[in-house]
Amino acid sequence: MSDTIFGKIISGEIPSEFLYEDEHCIAINDINPQAPVHVLVIPKQSIPRLVDAQLNDQALLGHLMLVAGKLAQQLGVGDAFRLVVNNGAEAGQTVFHLHLHIIGGRAFAEGHMAG
């Protein structure tokens, strides 16, 4: 679990403020926010990329989505946010421990996936 920066944050090796924690995941503010709200939902179980998830991770993946939705509401962006998963270096993934980005609080270009 401690092989990535997120593993070290989850284990407490790197101190970090958790916005949320339960037995399956944590949420932290992104260190380099791309919007007023930029939160990472990170499973405690280390799955490197989304494509590495297996059928027995199905409940965990669903849980992460539910947590992301509830957190977005609590953070005041429940009506307008994006949930992003970068899968693979060429898609911009830099930390190989699966995580969901909750991005909100700014205007999004209409119909533009990356904007």
Enumerate binding residues for ligand 5GP (CB under 6 A).
5, 28-32, 40, 86, 92-95
**CB of 56 or CB of 94, closer to ligand 5GP:** 94
**CB of 2 or CB of 93, closer to ligand 5GP:** 93
Cβ at position 3, least distance to ligand 5GP in Å: 14
Task: Give catalytic status of residue 99 as yes or no.
Answer: yes
CA-only gyration radius of the chain, Å: 14
Choose the catalytic residue: 63, 99, 101, 112.
99
**CB of 56 or CB of 87, closer to ligand 5GP:** 87
Q: Helix/strand/coil (H, E, C) string of 44-91?
A: CCCCCCHHHCCHHHHHHHHHHHHHHHHHHHHCCCCCCEEEECCCCHHH
- The b/e string for 48-57 (b: 16+ C-beta within 10 A; e otherwise) is bbbeebeeeb
Q: Which residues are catalytic?
A: 99
